[in-house]
Structure 1
Amino acid sequence: MSRTPYLIRLGNRLAEGLSETTPEWRSRHAGFVLGFQKSDGGFAGREGDSDLYYTSFAVRALVMLGEMSTDVTNSVASFLSQHDPLRLGVIDLMNWLSTALAVQVATGQDLLEELGADFPDLVSARLEEVRTSDGGYAKSVEGSSGSTYHSFLVLLTYQLLGREVPRPNALIQFLYDRQRDDGGFVEIAPMRRSGTNPTAAAVAILQELNAVDDEICDDVRAFLRDVRGDEGGFQANSRVPFTDSLSTFTGLLTVQDLRLGELLNQAELRELLETQLEFPTGGYRAATWDESADVEYTFYGLGVKALLAEESPNLS
């Protein structure tokens, strides 16, 4: 594949966005993330054992901060080696692959090479097992219809394997069918009210497949205007009365990728991020109602800060 995978491009973009922050600030947030690393080398959520999901967010946050040390990378590699990627579901498979790539970039250790030359073929076959008749991809083989989010994860996984998603036109049509009258996109077919996160996933897929036109941009602009909160962030959908860091990150990313910057109030968004979501001791929380932070929402908070630096580099 000639084009750099989406996740790598995004990771480089976010790291660049934080490159002008102070070493003390980066170290504080890195220290918070590292506090969730377990003895097996993986990272956990707010409670429980380590898993691939939180490990992926932790590693991506540390890479964004430029704080992925050799010791941490080696311990993460050890954690990954305890999992057989061919036995994982779509979410964990993508997390395993993206984290393995981060390890390779940091240390040169190629965990995929250890799996054999037929690994991409075997993974591709697994992915196509969850493809549904509507052109999308389901969470598992039991799924009868496609999921916008899981279709996005499958696309990312194919890219990490260096391959194109099969039958791209069918996937494009699947997404067109998931668009609603409010201008956004839904996660599953029965839903009538669009969400910020499935809209961001749909737009990202369509952009990767060169299927975004002016009409889609106008529709998404109208939807994002409806879910823009009074604090400057974005709500999960038009009925949720508060903004959250996940929706704000995906909404902001979509705004920038579609060049819809007129929707942003940078001052309000920066105020929300720095005074309501960020903890002085490190980490970010999900929303103002949240009492603590974790590695996932810290990734989103760092991501929002990095994207804001693209709008106003001198304020990063």
Structure 2
Amino acid sequence: MTIRRDMIEAAGRAKALLGDSAEAVERFVRSRQQADGGFAGRGEAGDLYYTVFAVEILAALDAEMPVRRIAAYLDGFGDGQSLDLVHLASLARCRAALDEAAATQPDRKTVGAMAAMVERFRSADGAFSIKAGADAGDVYGCFMATGAMEDLGMGLAGAQAIVARLGALRRADGGYANDDRTAAGSTPATAAAVVLLHGLEAHATRGQDARETQGRDALATENRRGTRDKGRPTKYEIRNTEYVAMAAQWLLARRHVSGGFAAGPGLETLGMTDLLSTATAIHALATVGARLDDLREAALDYLDSLWRPMGGFCGCGADDVVDCEYTFYGLLAMGHLVQ
């Protein structure tokens, strides 16, 4: 399962708790669609970044998708040549969601061109960076590029380089910083690293199973021929279980008694929580199978404090603006808390 589909399915489980309020969420999202087919952020103009979250909310709610209007909006971006990595990944996510909604196959030429655009953000160390031409990758770049390649249906080359780069960004306390300039870990970066490492290890395990099946046949042939190279390795694995467990504990330490999670070390003691940190932490913890029973009730209370009757969520207690991004994150967190 891709990163995108995993998040949509989790957000979809929030319907069990939303009840009739699911209709309010759908109405709010539809109200943000603009004349050009895109969905607005905090202004009134269509925005590709916010369109992703609107599309994924509709998918999570199993609501009717205005495919033609959205597709017309996306066509204006072509194959993403003028886009930065965040918006390029947004374009890939949107098109993948529309293909699923319309049960259509992506255009192979466009997919190939977009994959080439993603490769422009490959850093010199073999990972990915938000900035093209960087010497070293960063967590967000790796996360965005990996998700984009998944949504394009393309294989991800250089997984080991990504894992190595994430290892370099791991801090002594178990958290992950986004880049070398940041001394301490952050909750969104740590959550992204956990999801990436978990997914890459699962991918490596599946690949290893296939290689071992092929390898057994090859070894049988080589044994018959007497040509087996006894020094050649037959297993390739990514082993990050210990580091993922440490990161999960780091994330749990960012929890405040209110039920929300803080963006970095020490902020939880000040009660400085936000929905992005809360949702990404809960999603990462759920992804690696952490038990959420002890935090469920308080976290649901926290989400309720950020809910607005118009059908969406605010980003934090000091924020009164409802938008599609935070509404998706609210559903994501809520979906993981369904019993």
* The two structures share one fold, judged by TM-score above 0.5: yes
2:114 maps to 1:85: no
Residues in 2 aligned to 1:204 and 1:130: alpha-carbon distance in whole angstroms? 20
Q: Within 5 Å, give how 1:1-316 maps onto structure 2.
A: 4-15=1-12, 17-21=13-17, 24-67=20-63, 69-70=64-65, 72-87=66-81, 88-110=83-105, 112-113=106-107, 117-210=108-201, 211=238, 213-240=240-267, 241=270, 242-261=272-291, 264-274=294-304, 276-309=305-338, 312=339
Where 1:59 maps in the other structure, the secondary structure is helix
Deviation at 1:76, TM superposition (A): 1.0
Deviation at 1:75, TM superposition (A): 1.4
Please provide the CA RMSD for this pair.
1.9
Kept in 1: contact 2:38–2:70 (CA 8 A): yes
1:186-218 CA distance string (max 9 Å, x none): 101121110111111111111121045332133
Per the alignment, do residues 18 and 262 of structure 1 end up closer, same or farther by CA in structure 2, a change over 3 Å counting? closer
Kept in 2: contact 1:232–1:264 (CA 8 A): no
Residues in 1 aligned to 2:147 and 2:189: alpha-carbon distance in whole angstroms? 15
1:165-194 CA distance string (max 9 Å, x none): 112111110001110012110101121110
Per the alignment, do residues 104 and 121 of structure 1 end up closer, same or farther by CA in structure 2, a change over 3 Å counting? closer
The number of aligned residues is 299
Match of 2:208 in 1: none
Per the alignment, do residues 200 and 48 of structure 1 end up closer, same or farther by CA in structure 2, a change over 3 Å counting? same
Kept in 2: contact 1:255–1:263 (CA 8 A): no
* Alignment gaps of 5+ in structure 2: 202-237
Letter in 1 for 2:182: M
Where 1:227 maps in the other structure, the secondary structure is coil
Kept in 2: contact 1:135–1:173 (CA 8 A): no
Letter in 2 for 1:14: A
Q: Is 240-249 or 261-270 further displaced after alignment?
A: 261-270
Percent identity over the alignment?
26
Larger radius of gyration: 2
Deviation at 1:150, TM superposition (A): 1.4
Residues in 2 aligned to 1:263 and 1:106: alpha-carbon distance in whole angstroms? 34
Kept in 1: contact 2:286–2:292 (CA 8 A): no
Residues in 1 aligned to 2:73 and 2:324: alpha-carbon distance in whole angstroms? 17
Residues in 2 aligned to 1:251 and 1:218: alpha-carbon distance in whole angstroms? 13
Kept in 1: contact 2:123–2:133 (CA 8 A): no
* Alignment gaps of 5+ in structure 1: none
Deviation at 1:123, TM superposition (A): 2.8
Deviation at 1:223, TM superposition (A): 1.1
Deviation at 1:73, TM superposition (A): 2.5
Residues in 2 aligned to 1:28 and 1:126: alpha-carbon distance in whole angstroms? 38
